């Protein structure tokens, strides 16, 4: 996936999928106001379509150039009638001066014969192929493009489906090849694993990408909104030499990291974009996206510990923790260097939370001598356990699987607990040792009603049955911290706050670890060399 000189600017197209022509006209005006370059008029979505009258209404005085598409059911559309009627409607659109018509590869030869010698001067024919099951090999994609060209397409459109995010690399390769040959191509990969094909279109030379007016108003799976394309991903600023950063995880859709990092890049004028990367196999992903253009990654569940094995080198802290949440590709040699910024983000947030309620000497960590209870032995749990131990705290670790808690406790010199022991820790141990405890809940948070556990990304869910010991137990903690940041106030933090305990939101950890990642992402090569010189 090499860089190339851009020959055209990627256009932003809003699909119009309303049921009435009146709403389509209104949506067209909204697309113009939102910053779109053109619209796609999906005739097959109209509930009652009258070709001549409706096309005149839609195209007369239109504020933007338009693609007219009349997609049949057999190609993923809504139209179930005769092809001849479709062809007639598309010809009417041409006669009315529409800029583009999109026709399916399966019937393209017939349509090309029909319009032979009748194409207006500034009209372009898009011939499209859709694969709703998978993404073929690079060779098969190349052959498909050649076949579409041979029919007489002015613009080639190939849309496939991502089974794995690695599939997208093949589409990027074909788009780059087409641009080198001066062949305009729309190449998109559907599904969440293919989302970057839509976001990175300008980098690889795609003719256009689609952005919806609102979520749920798309014409294909995982189309982003035009607002997100422009305001979150700053797509107008993406060029062939733009560096790509992103969040590797499963899931990633809930993350606010793209909003945070892209805004930061824009504020300092750094030529980069940060995208969500739904990754199933970390090693395969890093091997496929090995270009230096893919310059760095945040790493979240479930890949933080796997990343340790995938990096060529590790920062000493990440090595000690045994978990990586930041990967930097060193420009000089392309090697992957792993760091852990969870440790810095969460520990500093907890320390400031304690200092906020107890003014103490800033030179001495307020964690020193405290009993620090960690629930969870995953990547974030490891970071916090390590950090607390380094700050002089006495660390206890509880986990759904006791063996994992014991393994981490042995690694950092702490004590392992079974989840069932948490009540006694809160009610008995704190009193007998005369110690106030720091409660840390990474990645998973408690449903206080049933003591079941849910993924961190969902936040704490409301309880159904009261748990009589909860309020008393939480009072035994000086500070309760929840790594969940959506919602900002989880059920755990609300219960703790109502019990009079100082609480620290996961938003603090999120911001602080991201700040350190941003420093690593934007560090000049000379600083990167210095940072890694003693690894």
Give the integer Cα–Cα distance in Å for 34 and 55. 23
* Rounded CA separation 100/186 (Å): 13
The long-range contacts involving 334-339, CB below 8 angstroms and separated by at least 24 positions, are 334/290, 334/292, 336/286, 336/310, 336/311, 336/312, 337/311, 337/312, 337/313, 337/528, 337/532, 337/535, 338/307, 338/308, 338/310, 338/311, 338/313, 338/314, 339/315, 339/516, 339/520
CA–CA separation, 341 and 298 (whole Å): 10
- Rg of the chain in Å (alpha carbons): 28
Q: How many residues does the chain have?
A: 535
Q: Helix (H, G, I), strand (E, B), or coil: what is residue 40?
A: strand
- Annotated catalytic sites, by residue? 130, 157, 304, 342
Helix (H) or strand (E) holding 258: helix 257-268
Axis-axis angle for helices 138-151, 105-115 (nearest 10): 20
Rounded Cα gap, residues 439 and 426, in angstroms = 10
β-partners of residue 188 are 159
> In what helix (H) or strand (E) does residue 481 lie, and over which residues does it extend?
strand 477-482
């Amino acid at each position: 996936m090499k860089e190339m000189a851009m020959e055209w600017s990627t256009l932003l197209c809003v699909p119009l999928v309303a049921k009435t022509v009146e709403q389509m006209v209104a949506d067209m005006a909204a697309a113009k106001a939102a910053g779109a370059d053109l619209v796609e008029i999906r005739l097959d979505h109209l509930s009652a379509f009258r070709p001549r009258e409706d096309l005149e209404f839609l195209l007369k005085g239109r504020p933007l150039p338009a693609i007219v598409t009349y997609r049949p059911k057999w190609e993923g559309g809504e139209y179930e009638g005769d092809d001849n009627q479709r062809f007639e409607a598309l010809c009417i659109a041409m006669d009315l001066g529409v800029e583009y018509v999109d026709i399916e590869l399966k019937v393209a030869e017939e349509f090309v014969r029909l319009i032979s010698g009748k194409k207006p001067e500034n009209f372009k024919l898009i011939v499209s192929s859709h694969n709703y099951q998978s993404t073929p090999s690079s060779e098969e994609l190349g052959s498909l493009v050649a076949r579409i060209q041979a029919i007489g397409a002015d613009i080639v459109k190939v849309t496939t489906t991502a089974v794995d995010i690695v599939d997208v690399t093949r589409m990027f390769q074909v788009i780059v090849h087409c641009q080198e040959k001066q062949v305009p191509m729309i190449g998109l990969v559907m599904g969440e694993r293919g989302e970057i094909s839509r976001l990175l279109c300008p980098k690889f030379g795609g003719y256009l990408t689609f952005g919806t007016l609102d979520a749920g108003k798309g014409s294909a799976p995982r189309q982003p909104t035009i607002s997100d394309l422009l305001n979150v991903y700053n797509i107008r600023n993406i060029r062939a030499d733009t560096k790509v950063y992103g969040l590797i995880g499963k899931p990633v859709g809930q993350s606010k990291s793209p909003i945070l990092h892209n805004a930061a890049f824009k504020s300092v004028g750094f030529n980069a974009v940060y995208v969500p990367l739904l990754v199933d196999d970390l090693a395969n992903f890093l091997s496929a996206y090995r270009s230096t253009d893919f310059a760095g990654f945040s790493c979240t569940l479930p890949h933080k510990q796997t990343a340790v094995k995938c990096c060529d080198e590790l920062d000493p802290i990440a090595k000690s923790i045994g978990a990586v949440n930041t990967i930097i590709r060193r420009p000089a040699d392309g090697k992957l260097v792993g760091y852990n910024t969870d440790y810095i983000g969460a520990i500093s947030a907890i320390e400031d939370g304690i200092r906020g309620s107890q003014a103490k000497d800033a030179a001495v960590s307020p964690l020193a001598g405290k009993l620090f209870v960690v629930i969870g032995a995953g990547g974030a749990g490891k970071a916090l356990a390590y950090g607390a131990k380094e700050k002089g705290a006495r660390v206890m670790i509880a986990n759904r699987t006791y063996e994992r808690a014991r393994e981490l406790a042995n690694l950092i010199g702490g004590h392992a607990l079974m989840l069932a022991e948490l009540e006694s820790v809160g009610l008995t141990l704190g009193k007998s040792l005369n110690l106030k405890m720091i409660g840390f809940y990474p990645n998973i948070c408690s449903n206080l009603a049933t003591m079941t556990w849910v993924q961190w990304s969902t936040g704490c869910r409301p309880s159904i049955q009261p748990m009589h010991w909860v309020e008393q137990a939480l009072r035994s903690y000086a500070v309760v911290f929840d790594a969940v940041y959506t919602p900002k106030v989880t059920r755990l933090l609300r219960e703790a706050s109502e019990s009079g305990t100082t609480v620290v939101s996961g938003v603090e950890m999120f911001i602080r670890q991201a700040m350190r990642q941003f420093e690593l992402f934007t560090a000049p090569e000379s600083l990167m060399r210095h940072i890694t010189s003693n690894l």
